[in-house]
Amino acid sequence: MRREPFGALLYHFGTRKLSFLKNRTILAVIESLADHPDARSALRAAGVDAEAELPYLHALAVLVTSNMLICKDSQ
């Protein structure tokens, strides 16, 4: 993961896929995921409330599908 002024760029060396974190909030969520028991707690801690969480949950799901985000225990 490489930070950029708008958010961050993600590159997967295995799949050669490039992804973009398009704002700082999603970046903060992803960086803090490991410190929370679940994604929703990380979202709340980053200031994303229930009404606004849908696009963030979607983004996380996309990253999981593309193997960009993997479970801590499977590392």
Partner 1 sequence: MTSVAPVPRLIEQFERGLDAPICLTWELTYACNLACVHCLSSSGKRDPRELSTAQCKSIIDELERMQVFYVNIGGGEPTVRPDFWELVDYATEHHVGVKFSTNGVRITPEVASRLAASDYVDVQISLDGATAEVNDAVRGEGSFAMAMRALENLASAGFSDAKISVVVTRHNVDQLDDFKALADRYGATLRITRLRPSGRGADVWDELHPTAEQQVQLYNWLVAKGERVLTGDSFFHLAGLGAPGALAGLNMCGAGRVVCLIDPVGDVYACPFAIHDRFLAGNILSESRFGAGFDNVWKNSPLFRELREPQSAGACGSCGHYDSCRGGCMAAKFFTGLPLDGPDPECVEGYGGPALATDRDKPRPSADHSRGKPIMLTLSTRPRAKPCNESPI
Q: CB of 67: closest distance to partner 1 in angstroms?
A: 14
Considering only 14, 35, 65, 75, the residue that binds partner 1 (CB under 8 A) is 14
Rounded Cα–Cα distance for residues 71 and 48 (Å): 22
Site for partner 1 in 36-75 (CB under 8 A): 47-49, 52
Question: 45 Cβ partners below 8 Å, 6+ apart?
Answer: 32, 36
Q: CB of 29: closest distance to partner 1 in angstroms?
A: 11
Rounded Cα–Cα distance for residues 27 and 22 (Å): 8
Nearer of residues 52 and 64 to partner 1, judged by Cβ: 52
